Structure 1
Amino acid sequence: MNKILLASHGPLANGMKKTAEFLMGQNENVETLCAYVDEQSKDLPAMVEKWMNERNPEDQWVVITDIFGGSINNEFMIRAQEGGYWLIAGMNLPLVLSLWYETENLTEKQLETNISEASEGIVLCNKLLSEDKAEEDDEF
């Protein structure tokens, strides 16, 4: 079974899950880890260790962290070799939605495709508007 852990500094992971649920419906296979929001969540190594010990190792996990090189991503990177999970940094809604109901075992190539497609959704819209205007001007 595929499962997703959204992990972030502050409440981003919870907000991401709630937004995805709003768009796609509930998914019991998605969990969140929000660090540094209260006293208990300030001990990041303990939070990650607890998650590692409580998860079912037979499930295929995709851990998505908010930022590459941040403390949360680094904590999961320390354990990634032994962890038995895919680790992706750079959480965004298109990526989460692309994995929301994925049921087949994921491969590295599939995840790279999901990441690439999600990255294409990051666009400087003003530049597109300028290009569209330039094309319109060229037509006349």
Structure 2
Amino acid sequence: MVGIVIATHGQLAAGLLDAAELIMGEQAQVATLGLHHGDDVAAFGQALVRAAKSVSTGDGVLVLTDLFGASPNNQAATARTALTGIPYALLTGVNLPMLLTAFNERLLGNDLITMKQAVLTAGQTGIKDFFIELAKQ
């Protein structure tokens, strides 16, 4: 099973997991990390490495972060070097459709590469203008 780490600013990671589990039920092999005001960024990176190792079962780890180029994302990118031997993918811009897709891909038994592509697509297509979509009906 592919492990999942959600790393964001503040409580966003925990909130996303809470919402996803409300919809899909409790999930295994998932960890959340939140970077808060005043936190040591290097310590956050170390915690991210520990979280990735804790959810890894040998099938890889998908890390989802909130903002490209921000500290959680940068620490996740850097963490890869400490996780040699663990297949590792990193996507940014995490949203609820992405997380739900990741959980669904795991249920289907898909590998990390397939999961990553499906999650990326879900993130891109999950953003819609309600009234434009309504007009298509």
Query: Which TM-score tier does this pair reach, normalised by the shorter chain?
Result: 0.7 to 0.9
Do 2:2 and 2:57's aligned partners in 1 also have CA atoms closer than 8 Å?
no
Could you tell me which amino acid in structure 1 is paired with residue 44 of structure 2? M
- Give the structure 2 partner of residue 32 of structure 1: 32
| Secondary structure of 1:123 counterpart | coil
Distance 2:125 2:40 in 1: 35
Could you tell me which amino acid in structure 2 is paired with residue 96 of structure 1? L
Aligned length: 128
Alpha-carbon distance, 1:12 to partner: 0.3
Alpha-carbon distance, 1:111 to partner: 1.4
Q: Which runs of at least 4 in structure 1 moved beyond 6 Å after TM superposition?
A: none
Do 1:80 and 1:87's aligned partners in 2 also have CA atoms closer than 8 Å?
no
Distance 2:127 2:80 in 1: 27
Could you tell me which amino acid in structure 2 is paired with residue 94 of structure 1? P
Give unmatched runs, 5+ long, in structure 1.
136-140
Residue 94, structure 1, aligned to residue 97, structure 2 = yes
Distance 1:34 1:111 in 2: 22
Distance 1:114 1:23 in 2: 17
- Give the structure 1 partner of residue 41 of structure 2: 44
Distance 1:3 1:58 in 2: 7
- Give the structure 1 partner of residue 63 of structure 2: 63
Alpha-carbon distance, 1:113 to partner: 3.1
Cα deviation digits, residues 10-41 of structure 1 (max 9, x gap): 0000000000110000012111001116x5xx
Distance 1:128 1:6 in 2: 29
With structure 1 as the length reference, what TM-score do the two structures score? 0.77
Alpha-carbon distance, 1:104 to partner: 3.6
| Secondary structure of 1:68 counterpart | coil
Give unmatched runs, 5+ long, in structure 2.
none
Distance 2:118 2:103 in 1: 15
Identity %: 28
| Secondary structure of 1:100 counterpart | helix
Task: Please point out which of 108, 112, 115 is paired with 1:106.
Answer: 112
Describe how 1:121-132 pairs up with structure 2 within 5 A: 121-129=126-134, 131-132=135-136
Bigger Rg over Cα: 1
Do 2:7 and 2:33's aligned partners in 1 also have CA atoms closer than 8 Å?
yes
